[in-house]
A and B are shown apart, each in its own frame.
Chain A
């Protein structure tokens, strides 16, 4: 699989020649046209312990000005269990045989689908150098998440797990059929108090990064807005994060070391294909695999489907 992906990456990079920067997972530095409104439904799936984990979200984004867009996303997921795993902290009885009985038995298998919260997204394009069939652009973005789900991951995720803040920079280069975009941002999750538990849990602070490549494969020559556009994407995405922390009535301290709570980092690779119909309806399909290390918060392969309609 890795060989195939690297081959795909090289193939993509070897094309030179109109491009696409309407990346599936990452926003380009460009923002939506002023007063336009994009509605996107997002569906993500992966299998874990024979169970299908899924996340469904709806995102609405509006071009507020020529350079500024503002979006809100709300979602449901069954990724999380209702109680904090008690192995993460020293509960005083020093009995850590992982057989706590009561609410925490088999928490790994309790996955009710629930509303996870809202994520607000704002992006401002501050640098633009446009040329014939090309541009170089830079933008700054900010994210505010109210998501609040119980979990035990050091890795923060402002789109369905953690409340928190994030901000960073995006640099996008587009030349004819090819587009490349890099993103780097900091993530500061807020702590939360799981249900029926006196402890607070806080994922680690993190750096999020991505490199997205896009290629317009069809049409070779435009004839009308009605022509289907087919774009191929390869997106490398990852995070590096600090250890999770727990707070009791007195102080914060590092969560007891587990794979999920330990500091770490990873880089995933997400090949994808996109169909654009009628120059306004997008169908995004992609899969995700670990490239360097892996995320402890999700399993692989991941499948992603998104549908977006853009009202101008």
Chain B
């Protein structure tokens, strides 16, 4: 059974605006172009600016569409590469968060791990934690901190769950 955690789910208004995804496993511009095109196929992605030297894609979301963080990771994998890091920028109304507390961003439930009690307001960068969002080595380090069966019980508006840190 899922456990209800911390103060449960906050449903205060929050939305993802943009993201930065760093990609592992490639060096050539043809490969970077493949990743960019794969990401551009996602309806909720408005624009992608790729840095060909650092293989970092700056993504702007189309606010009218349903955003999916797991689809971003899938887009990178479909092009044949791996996500090293995924940082999403969320616009959050004033709110304080605690370890293992979840907030709702759009229709995604984000559970905070490895944080102190923190007040959030305005644009906040959330680093995604999970096997699809980081290197295998990094996930090995993080997985112990991610409690199993810890996703909050959520009303029907939630499509996706993820762990995040600040």
Contacts and interface: CB of A to CB of B under 8 A. Distances in A.
Given A33-B38, A66-B78, A19 B27 contact: yes
Interface string B37-69: 110010000000000110100000000000000
B8 interface: no
Interface string A48-75: 0000000000000001011100000000
A225 B32 CA distance: 9
B89 interface: no
Contacts of B79: 33-34, 66
A180 interface: no
Nearest to A125: B80
Interface stretch (A131-139, A185-193, A252-260, A283-291): A131-139
Given A34-B79, A130-B82, A132-B84, A227 B29 contact: yes
Interface stretch (A108-116, A201-209, A216-224, A238-246): A216-224
Nearest to B136: A129
Contacts of A65: 78
With a 10 A CB-CB cut-off, give which of B27, B35, B79 has the most chain A CB atoms. B27
Interface in A131-172: 131-135
A33 B30 CA distance: 11
Nearest to B34: A33
B28 interface: yes
Interface residues of A, number: 41
A129 B135 CA distance: 9
A36 interface: yes
Contacts of A267: none
B52 A132 contact: no
B25 interface: yes
A133 B27 contact: yes
B52 A31 contact: no
Contacts of A177: 27
Nearest to A175: B27
Interface residues of B, number: 26
Contacts of B24: 130-132, 134-135
Nearest to A179: B27
A18 B28 contact: yes
A134 B24 CA distance: 7
B17 to A, nearest CB: 25
A33 B37 contact: yes
27 contacts: A18-B28, A33-B34, A33-B38, A33-B80, A34-B38, A34-B79, A36-B37, A67-B80, A129-B136, A132-B24, A135-B25, A135-B26, A176-B27, A177-B27, A216-B27, A221-B53, A222-B29, A222-B52, A223-B52, A225-B29, A227-B29, A276-B28, A279-B30, A279-B32, A310-B30, A312-B33, A312-B38
Interface of B: 24-30, 32-35, 37-38, 41, 52-53, 55, 77-82, 84, 135-136
Interface of A: 18-20, 22, 30-36, 63, 65-67, 125, 128-135, 174, 176-177, 216, 221-225, 227, 229, 276, 279-280, 282, 310, 312
